[in-house]
Structures are given as C-alpha cells and as structure tokens.
Structure 1
Amino acid sequence: MFSKIIVSQHLMLSLLWLAYASAYLLRKPLALVKADLISELHFSTQLLGWLDVALWLPYAGVSLTMGRLADKLGARNVLGFGLFLSAVSTAGIGYSSTFGVMFLLSFGTGAFQALCWPASCTILGSWFKQSEKNYAFGLFGTSCFVGGVLATYLVVYLERMCGWRYIFLPCAVVPAIFGLCIVMFARPPSGYTLTIEGSSTEIAPILAQPSYSSQPRSMTLFQVLRLQLLPEVCASIMFCKCVRYAFMMWLPLFLHDALNYTKFEAGVGSTAYDIGGIFGSLFNGFMVKRFFVGSNLFGACMSNFLMGMFLMVFYVSQGLGWPAHMSLLFMAGLFNSSADLLLTGPVALKLGEKHGASITVCGVVNGMGSIGSVIQGPLIGWIGTTWGWDAVLPVLVAMSLAGGFASLRAYRIQQRKQRAATVQQRTDAMESI
C-alpha cells in the first residue's frame, strides 16, 4: 500500500503535468499554420519570424522582470490565471486576418504564460524532498514534449478536417480548464495538512513559510544575475532554448520546403524531435547519475554537445531519407530536452532556494532562455530568406556548442568552489585538534 504522502505527491505531479502539457496547445498552432499563412494571407517568411517575436518577446520580458511580483502573488495564482488568460488571448487568433491583430493576440498569449514554468517548478519543489527532485522533474519535464506531440497531432487533424482558422478556439479550451483547476487544487503540502521533510516549501508567502529563510527575499533582476553561476547558466539556457524553439516553430516548414514533405507529413514528422524530448526527460535522472558523474551542470554541458553532434549529422545526411531524418531528430530532441530540463529545473531551483527567491531565480533563468526563443524567429526567417534553409542548421549546431561551453564553465566554477570548501573544512578540523 502507498502512503498518503506518496499518493498526494503523485496526484499533484499529475495535475501539474497535465496543466503544463496543455500550454502547448497554445504554442504549437502558430508553428503548424505557417504554410497556410503564407498561401492564404501572403505573409512572408520574415513576417512569420516577427510573429514568433510577438509570442516570445513578452514571454522573456515578463519572466525577467515580474518574478518579484510573482513571488508575492503565489505560484498557484500565477500558474492558474496565467494559463486561463493566455487561453483567452489565443482563442481569437483564428478569427483575425491581419498581421497587427495576430501580433497583439500572440503578444498576450506569451505574456500571460511567461511565469507558468517557474511557478510549476516552485509548486513541484514543495512536494518532493531534495533526493527525489531529479525523479520528479524528470517526469514533469516530459509534459513539455508529450504536450507538444499531442498538440501537433490535434492541430494537424483539425487543420486537415476544418481548416487553420478553426484550430485556435478548441486548443484554448483545455488549458483554460486546467488553469482553473490549478487555482482550486494546487496547494502546498501544508494546505493538505502534510509535511514533507527536505522539500522547498516556499511557494508564496501567503501559502507557506519558506524552509530556507524566514521570509522570501525580494531580489531585482540585477541582483539575481550577480549570483554565482547565474551568468553561465543563463547563457547556456539561452542557446539551448534558441535551438529548441527554432525546431518547435520552424521544423514543419523546413521539412515541407527544404525536404519536400507534404504538409501532413511535415507536421507529423516534426514530432520525432518532441518524442525524443520525452525520452530525454524520462531518463534524465538516470543519465546524470550513470554517465554525467552525478552533476546536473555537467549533464547539461554534455547534453548540449551531443545535441550539436546529432544536428551536424542530420545536416550532412539530408539525402538519406525519412528513417534517418526521424532517428537523428529523435536523438537531437532527447539531448536538447535533457539540457533544458536540467538548467531550468533542478539547477535553477537549487540556486533560487538558497536565496529564498525560487520563482524569481527560476523566472530569470527561464526568461533568459526565452531571449533565445525571441531571437530565433527573426534570425531563422532572415537566414532562410537570405541564404536558404541549408544555412540554418550550421547556425543551430554552433549555438548548441556555445551552450555546452557555457555549462562547462559553470561546472568548473562549481567544482573549484567545492574543492575550496573541502580544503577549508579539513583545515578547520586540523586546527580544532
């Protein structure tokens, strides 16, 4: 028989998983209707890139600047109402025919869901003790990719059966419902008269008392960026997210235009990357323990390097056909998701907990990563228009390697700090004899 705590932990994990997976119903449609916007509304590739900016620029801006407010409002309210309001904004996109209206609605979608990830991480961290967090975040991280896969299949089906304009409203209903469920049920363990030792119970000051400080610290963006390891972690996640969102927003169009897939084949084939992400999230904790010396930062470093390697192989093997394409995209997605999850989950949360500002620090890391998602839109649009699709993949390979080197620097700093602490402890012990 499972204890009440274990059952409650997994019920909360399931609720958060479903809620965050539903957020991809608000993100995927814009990526999958790009070919329709070109053919029906005569949008250029560069204009489509600026639609990506409309979605991800407010996402990055709110993540970077509103963490202090989110810490005061509480993770439950931030996540629940963020999902609901972003769903409302998304629902109207299908009824618009001008770039300006689509831009504004996409802007609202990005802004309202900007803090959903750090809020989810903060709630989840309060339900699991330190030794269980890689397991919990590994399972939770699959929501990004399972949500992306299921959203892709649904959008492709709706587009085929009803046309692109009738995609957005049905996709908005589910996250709106889950947003309300989060507001009602996503309480900390203390809200259900449970105590979980070793967990981060700092969800919000109005919900629970933090375990790392007497009260949550209010930290500005510049204070957060001065924390040790934060600049390196932020640089690494920025490159990692740029690659991830370039694939999420452009892979269907790339497969359609560059490799001559049909729209249906391109939409379904693009899920190979997301399916790889599912496995990367599931086996993330195992890979860190077994292959990456138990270090989340070293795991992020090697995952970035391996992602770059598989993207390079994909670049030189485009003529090998569908099986090779899907296999290589699967492996690239696996290691991209591993690096992404490690940096925005356990690494960011641990740094935030030490300073009593979980949502703020997680939000800054996620927001800096979102700068990559903002950059990728106009960058990929400009490269594709100027030099063609063959020039896109080498740029993404270079970004993967840059992210790996940034994580490697953070790992080396961490190792030096740990060695210095060990030497100091031995010195103190000898002096006390």
Structure 2
Amino acid sequence: MLASGISCYLFGIARPYNIHNLWYFVLVQAVGGVFQTSGWPGVVTVVGNWFGKGKRGLIFGIWNSHTSLGNILGSLIAAEFVESDWGLSFMVPGIIMGLIGFIIFLFLVPNPIDIGCIPPVSPKYRKLDAAHSSDEGSSADECENIHNRLTYRCAYREQVDVDDIENVRSETSPILPRHRHIQESDRGNAIGFMKAMMIPGVVEYSLSLFFAKLVSYTFLYWLPLYIAASTTYSTTLSADLSTFFDVGGIIGAIAAGVLSDYSGTSALTCAVMLGFAVPMLFVYDYIGSTSLATTILLLLIVGLLVNGPYALITTAVSAELGTHPSLGNNSKALATVTAIIDGTGSIGAAVGPLLAGMVANWAGWHNVFYMLMIADMLALLLLSRLVYRDVKLFRRRRRIV
C-alpha cells in the first residue's frame, strides 16, 4: 500500500513538474500495478484466517464492498480536481493510500494464532461433525452428536499441539517457529504453482474471471467518458454518475455471497448473474442516456450483475478453493490460489480498457458494448462444466432432503 501510494503520487506530480515523457507514465503505472496486485492474495487470506467457512459468501460479500467504496471515493476525488488540477486527482489518493498503509502496518494481525486466539473452525472439527451427523435425526443420535462436538471442542482448545498450530498457520503469518521434528514434506509447506493449478475449478474460475474483470474494469476506467460523450452532462456530473455502477456493485457482491451460501452453488450463482448481465448491457447501451433517472437505475442494475460474479470469484470462491479437500493436510494454499485466480483476472483488467479505447475510436461506443457482452458470454461459457456439477449436487441435496 505504501509503494502503491507513492506510485500514484508520482503519476500526479507530472503536472506541476511538466513531465511529458510517455515512458515515465508507463513505468509509474507498471510499478504501481505490480504493488497493487500483490496485495489482494494477502488480504483475502487474512479474512479467511479470521472468519473460517461459516457464512463465507455473506462475510466476503460485505467485506468486498470496500472495493466499490474505494472506486466511489477515487472517482469523487478525481472529479473534484479534474477540471482545475488533474495532478491532485492522483496525488490526494496516493497520500491517503500511503497513510492507511502505515496504519495497517502498525495494527493488522494476519492470523488469530499470532495473538493467542483459537482459529474459527478447524478442518478436523468440520470432518468430525460431519462424520457423526445423523441423517435420521433421532433424539439419541442428536444428543450423541452434541456430546461429541462439545468433547472435541474442549479437547481442541486445551490440547492444541505443535502440529495443529503448524497446520493452521497462514502463509501471511510466519511468526510462529517451526518445530524441529516437522520435516519440509509435512503439511506446513506452501504448495507450488502447478499443484495449485491442478485443484479442481482453479483454471475455469481463473479464465472466467479474466473476462468478468475485463468488463468490470472497462466500466471503471471508461464509464465517466462514455456518459459525457453520450449525454450533455458535464465532466464532473458524468464522473459522479459513474459511481452508481459501484453502488450496484456493493449490492451485487453481497447478493452473490448470500445466494452462494444459501444454495451452495457458487458457479451457478455466477452464471445466473452473468447471464442476466448480457441483456442489461444491451439495454443500457440503447436507452441508458435517455434521462437522468434511467441512467442511475440502469447503472445500479448493471453494476449489480457485472460486479457480483467478479466479487464472488475473487473472495469466497478463491478462499474455498484454497482449502480444497484435494490438498489433504496441506494448509498453505489460500494465497497461492487467490493469486492465480486474481492474477489472471488482472490481465483481463488490463486488456479490457485497452481494447475499449481502440474499439471506441475505430468503431464507436456501440461496438464497445458488444465487446463487453461477448466477454460476459465467454465468462459464462467457461463456467459451464462447474455449473453442470453444481446443478447435479443441488438436485442430489434436494432428493436427500
């Protein structure tokens, strides 16, 4: 965060110092991008460490609203200075980010173990609970289940050995020393890149996020300009209106998380939202600029449908895959999996705005929206195998109930 703030600040000082070298801007943006993308795997892991798997979709959905709130704040700051001193549009956010980064450095605790707290729910506790659960639901079995759970929890709280502590250590929390008897091949080691890629669902979600993030970041960077070009609104008002897309994104992230928790089908939740996003992009393109109220309403809906799947994949889905049963006892995969998924999406975030600029100049804004609709359809198509699996699991659970 400190380095990202400095990079943003360096971009803004180009105005007072009259820097007009293209490569200066390319270098500053590239360096800033490296530092910003390195942050996401760490913060997802920290939240996963503290909150476990209970209501993961809802918790991550609420937490993920910070991305949209940051976009809103950034847009409002940029709009405040864009017509008077565009350098401040970068320098002020850079200063804010640097200050908050220093506060995070002082106070963030990556793992409950670092301050002597018990992790939320250990994998062994979940397995024991499932193993002793009764399908018949008799009162005797229920009492036995409660007894087993309470007995295990008491034993776990009182007798956490070195191996258990090592098992729940996060890759962002290397404070606890390794026990001398634990070998490098044991469960405390972080997994490699190729092993993370082999986790079922990682490749599909990564490629789907490529296109989902392409659409989201195209809106983030080009929406104010599109509103100004397609309406008679001022630059400042256009920037202010673009924030409604992010307001819809907050609602979409929470809605996607709740639906995922309720149904247990993350891929299906993403697919439904992506499927509805395609026609709504078409509607916004053709009638979105007819009136102020129409613009606001459609931006809210489009933001909800576009950012919902993107938020779910980069948070709850990444955390779930990072603790996939195929990993066995290896507990240090969450950040690696998150980095793979979000890193692939970041490539789409870079490609989308670049393509949008070229398409807008050569073929007009209508074709930009066609490009975004195609991207959402590809994101949906890449999830088709996982959607089929989710539907089968959902039907099986319904038959059991």
> Shorter-normalised TM-score: what interval?
0.7 to 0.9
Are 1:283 and 2:255 matched, yes or no? yes
1:219 paired to 2:192: yes
Residue 319 of structure 1 deviates from its aligned partner by 5.1
Corresponding residue to 1:406 among 365, 382, 397:
382
Distance 1:259 1:332 in 2: 18
Q: Which amino acid aligns with 1:91?
A: Y
Q: Deviations over 1:280-339 (max 9, x none)?
A: 12333333355xx33122111111112222111112324522221221111111122210
Is 1:186 matched with 2:108? yes
Question: Where does 1:108-257 land on structure 2 (aligned, <5 Å)?
Answer: 108-160=31-83, 162-187=84-109, 188-198=111-121, 201-204=169-172, 206-207=174-175, 214-220=187-193, 222-257=194-229
**CA 1:193–1:94: 2 relative to 1, 3 Å:** same
Instruction: Name the structure where helix makes up a greater proportion of residues.
Output: 1
CA-based RMSD of the aligned residues comes to: 2.7
The answer to whether 1:395 aligns with 2:366 is no
Q: Does the CA-based 8 Å contact 1:87-1:173 persist in structure 2?
A: yes
Any stretches of 5+ residues in structure 1 without a counterpart?
A: 1-82, 422-433
Q: Do 2:13 and 2:91's aligned partners in 1 also have CA atoms closer than 8 Å?
A: no
Amino acid at match of 1:119: G
Distance 1:407 1:362 in 2: 17
* Alignment-mate amino acid for residue 282 of structure 2: M
Give the C-alpha shift of residue 372 in structure 1.
0.8
**Residues 65-105 of structure 1: per-residue CA shift (max 9 Å, x gap):** xxxxxxxxxxxxxxxxxx11111111111222322111111
The number of residue pairs the alignment matches comes to: 336
What pairs up with 1:8-407 in 2 under 5 angstroms? Answer: 83-96=1-14, 97-160=20-83, 162-187=84-109, 188-198=111-121, 201-204=169-172, 206-207=174-175, 214-220=187-193, 222-289=194-261, 293-318=263-288, 320-354=290-324, 355=327, 356-407=332-383
**What amino acid does structure 2 have at the position aligned with 1:164?**
W
- Which whole-Å CA distance do the structure 2 matches of 1:99 and 1:261 have between them? 30
Alignment-mate amino acid for residue 125 of structure 1? G
Residue 378 of structure 1: CA displacement?
Answer: 2.3
Q: CA deviation at 1:185?
A: 1.9
Secondary structure of 1:246's match? helix
- How far did residue 262 of structure 1 move? 1.5
Structure 2, unaligned runs of 5 or more:
15-19, 123-167, 179-185
| SS in structure 2 at match of 1:353 | coil
CA distance in 1, matches of 2:36, 2:223: 23
Inter-partner Cα distance in structure 2 for 1:236 and 1:339: 9
TM-score (norm 1): 0.72
**Structure 2 CA distance, aligned partners of 1:189 and 1:246?**
38
Contact 2:277/2:302, CA 8 A, preserved across alignment: yes
Relative distance call for 1:217 and 1:416 in structure 2 (3 A) is: farther
Q: Identity of aligned pairs, percent?
A: 22
> In 2 relative to 1, CA 150–204 (structure 1 residues): closer, same or farther, beyond 3 Å?
closer
- Correspondence for 1:22: none
Give the Cα separation in 1 of the matches to 2:394 and 2:169: 26
